[in-house]
Amino acid sequence: MSDHHNPDAEPKKKINWFIILIVLFLLTFGLNLINMRQGSSASFQISYDQFLDLVEAGVVDQVYMNDDQIRIALREDADLNKVSSILSPASGSNASGSNASIREITLPRTVILYTGRVDDPQLVSALRSGKVRIYEEIPEQTSIFSVIASWLVPMAVMYLLYFFIFRMLMKRAGGGEGGGFLGGISGIGKSKAKVYNVEKNTGITFRDVAGQDEAKESLEEMVDYLKNPKKYQNIGARQPKGALLVGPPGTGKTLLAKAVAGEAGVPFYHLTGSEFVEMFVGVGASRVRDLFQTAKKNTPCIIFIDEIDAIGKKRDVQMATNDEREQTLNQLLAEMDGFETNGGIIVLAATNRPEVLDQALLRPGRFDRRIIVEKPDLSGRESILAVHSKKVTLAPDVDLHEIALSTSGASGADLANIVNEGALRAVRMNRTAVSQADLMESVETVFAGKEKKDRVLSAKERQLVAYHEVGHALVSALQKNAQPVQKITIVPRTMGSLGYTMSVPEEERYLLTKEELMAQITMLLGGRAAEIVRFGAETTGAANDIERATDLARKMVTQYGMSDQFGSMGLASTQSQYLDGRNISTCSEATNAQADEAVRQILSRCQRDAEELLRSHSDSLDAIANTLLEKENISGKEFMELLKAS
């Protein structure tokens, strides 16, 4: 190995622009300060009358006049006592300085007396009579150094400051380190797609995806086309150009895309919609072009765009716009299905908001398939729990079917979290395997929060909460269309509840009758009914119950066509069905007021039914509530035994 030092191998030292800016600023400030102090150190100002008196007294040797002031030089042999007597009446402490202070100053280099310039035509005659030498100051010629100090240097400082700030913006805009100013600009339009090659795949296959059999089937066919295109071409089948994955958050859309990457064995480009858009107009379109140009060089391949609604929103038809997102969308439309064919490229995209996407993006030829990735059903939840529990040590008593029944409406992400929380609880309890109790507790933790042990309720509040929760459970058990109770607790939870009643359906249901919906509303209002029946009071604890009951009753009236007044008439539509699922009214204000009255009638009827049920079973209400106060938690089996015994 050679010992010679290679200077090219040394890292380049970066210029610290901030220090340079500070030095230039201090240099400019110092030059201006020198110019301000140059040639002037007058310390005594006198009145114009005193100046004339000094001239008449014959003590003035010479004067220096400019447009603003007159500087006065005294004679070297002037009688300083006479000068002091002239200046003392009005000059104050400054003008009445000692003789020594005046003698110490050498004239004419330093002037100690000055006065303002007055328009006096007789001044020159008076000065000549007093034999005073008169000097009119001539403005100095501006030097090159002064020009640099007063104009070029500040301009250079401003330019460098602008350059420094703009360079930082370029780095943040995508130029990266080491690219410099031009490197930052040239890197803006580059695609930020992450490439998962065959050797470096995601490590996820379709075997890791459960509960989405239909979605897997559609994607498996697209992957097979990339692997074996001839068998499709022989029969005349055309390659699907794209697939749009649609569904609520946490259902596995991105997981499916990663599984495609693991199965396809072809280059896989992954990026989000927001990565296309930057602060400069035209950057998004440039990145789309760059992405597809790169993909064409590596066909067959797959492009996955997550959260495509960031760039694929509907174009505004009200006014002519040409903003960054619209340009990006136009370029994406052209690349996916324009005059130039992109054979061998499949585009996958995912979104939670398909209703906001542009229609031109959704048509066949761009996204040939819309794959719905919804929340899993009962068998899907059981399959997802089995996949996530493969790496977890389970106790023999674990029943995943029971856990799946308890998690109706849960997404794949929720189920994965439930298994993980169960494993964490088993570790906290110093166990080597996850039990059924761990998983059931994790279900409550995910949906209701952890137990809030530091919240201490008074005896009166605990009694109110106990009767409230037993009211829910008792009303549910006394109705034939209600769901069976699994657990009642009055232990506060971190998500705000002071207690809750867990009901589990006996089977997965996709359709509900009017009677079943009315039973649900009655069960929700059972807590408030128990407070009224037992204490004759209404508390704030029923706020969430009332909100849910009102929402369900409003849907019965406005969407399900289950009201006697409106019949099968739709009064609202659902927006953002995969996110908040809020309802938008589609009727007039008068009809809306009538719908409010119909909702009120349903709630009033259910409230009366709940109160009647509890009054007719007041002994059971008291007995179960007292047991709950004593034990704090009652299982569904214990609840039914107490109900039969009372």
* Residue range 44-136 in CATH 3.30.720.210: yes
Are the beta carbons of 492 and 455 closer than 8 angstroms?
Answer: yes
- Measured over the CA atoms of residue 291, residue 294, residue 296 and residue 302, the dihedral's sign is negative
DSSP state of 111: -
Are the beta carbons of 556 and 497 closer than 8 angstroms?
Answer: no
Average pLDDT, stretch 273-286? 74
State the pLDDT at residue 625. 94
Are the beta carbons of 222 and 261 closer than 8 angstroms?
Answer: no
CA triplet 115, 121, 126: central angle to 5 degrees? 70
Q: Render pLDDT for 146-157 as a digit per residue (tens, 0 to 9).
A: 656 666 667 777
Asked if residue 407 has pLDDT above 70, the reply is yes
The domain 194-372 is placed in CATH, from the list 1.10.10.10, 3.40.50.300, 3.40.630.10, 3.20.20.70, at 3.40.50.300
Q: Which amino acid is at 633?
A: N
Considering the chain, what is the average pLDDT of its residues? Answer: 80
Q: Which helix (H) or strand (E) holds 114?
A: strand 113-116
Asked if residue 89 has pLDDT above 90, the reply is no
User: Which numeric CATH code is attached to 378-448?
Assistant: 1.10.8.60
What kind of architecture, by CATH, is found in domain 459-645? Up-down Bundle (1.20)
d(CA 527, CA 514): 21
Asked if residue 108 has pLDDT above 60, the reply is no
Q: Which residue intervals of the chain bear CATH 1.10.8.60?
A: 378-448
State the pLDDT at residue 599. 96
State the pLDDT at residue 103. 39
Return the minimum-mean-pLDDT range out of 21-35, 159-173, 179-193, 207-221: 179-193
304 forms beta bridges with: 270, 348
State the pLDDT at residue 136. 79
Provide the pLDDT confidence category of residue 427 given band limits of 50, 70 and 90.
Answer: very high
Are the beta carbons of 245 and 371 closer than 8 angstroms?
Answer: yes
Asked if residue 297 has pLDDT above 90, the reply is no
State the pLDDT at residue 395. 94
State the pLDDT at residue 554. 94
Asked if residue 441 has pLDDT above 60, the reply is yes
Average pLDDT, stretch 384-407? 91
**Beta strands across the sheet bearing 69-74:** 44-45, 113-116, 69-74, 60-65, 133-136
State the pLDDT at residue 169. 61
**How much is the pTM?**
0.68
Return the minimum-mean-pLDDT range out of 239-243, 254-258, 276-280, 412-416: 276-280
> Which pair of tokens denotes residue 454?
């530091």
Q: Render pLDDT for 594-642 as a digit per residue (tens, 0 to 9).
A: 999 999 999 999 999 999 999 999 999 999 999 999 998 998 889 999 9
State the pLDDT at residue 175. 44
State the pLDDT at residue 4. 44
d(CA 565, CA 602): 12
Average pLDDT, stretch 322-351? 80
d(CA 265, CA 196): 10
The residue with greater pLDDT, 344 or 547, is 547
Residue 458's closest CA among 419, 498, 486, 488? 498
Asked if residue 319 has pLDDT above 80, the reply is no
> Which pair of tokens denotes residue 219?
């994607």
Q: Largest Cα–Cα distance of the chain, in whole Å?
A: 133
The residue with greater pLDDT, 10 or 630, is 630
Residue 405's closest CA among 431, 387, 382, 424? 382
- Which percentage of the chain shows pLDDT scores above 90? 30
Asked if residue 121 has pLDDT above 70, the reply is yes
Q: Render pLDDT for 203-249 as a digit per residue (tens, 0 to 9).
A: 788 888 888 888 888 898 888 888 888 888 899 888 888 899 999 99
3-state secondary structure of 467: helix
DSSP state of 237: P
State the pLDDT at residue 327. 84
State the pLDDT at residue 6. 45
d(CA 382, CA 13): 60
d(CA 51, CA 58): 11
Alpha carbon 97 to chain centroid distance?
71
State the pLDDT at residue 10. 44
How many Å is the Cα radius of gyration of the chain?
Answer: 44
State the pLDDT at residue 187. 53
Per-residue b or e along 564-578, where b marks 16 or more CB atoms closer than 10 Å to that residue's CB: eebeeeebbeeeeeb
Q: Which amino acid is at 628?
A: L
> Which pair of tokens denotes residue 636?
């569904």
d(CA 58, CA 99): 18
State the pLDDT at residue 266. 82
Residue 447's closest CA among 480, 473, 408? 408
Count the helix, strand and coil residues of the chain and give each as a percent rounded to the nearest 5: 50, 10, 35
Return the minimum-mean-pLDDT range out of 167-171, 350-354, 446-450, 492-496: 167-171
State the pLDDT at residue 561. 92
d(CA 110, CA 64): 12
Average pLDDT, stretch 86-94? 54
**Phi then psi for 349, rounded to 5 degrees?**
-145, 155
Average pLDDT, stretch 266-287? 78
Return the minimum-mean-pLDDT range out of 134-143, 180-189, 343-352, 591-600: 180-189
The residue with greater pLDDT, 286 or 435, is 435
State the pLDDT at residue 510. 80
Asked if residue 74 has pLDDT above 70, the reply is yes
**Phi then psi for 554, rounded to 5 degrees?**
-65, -40
Are the beta carbons of 378 and 404 closer than 8 angstroms?
Answer: yes
d(CA 308, CA 351): 6
Average pLDDT, stretch 123-144? 76
d(CA 291, CA 297): 10
State the pLDDT at residue 514. 93
Asked if residue 408 has pLDDT above 70, the reply is yes
Q: Render pLDDT for 463-499 as a digit per residue (tens, 0 to 9).
A: 999 999 999 999 999 998 788 888 899 988 887 788 8
Asked if residue 5 has pLDDT above 60, the reply is no
Query: Catalytic amino acids?
Result: 469
3-state secondary structure of 476: helix
The residue with greater pLDDT, 89 or 582, is 582
Asked if residue 64 has pLDDT above 50, the reply is yes
Are the beta carbons of 247 and 152 closer than 8 angstroms?
Answer: no
State the pLDDT at residue 312. 87
State the pLDDT at residue 36. 53
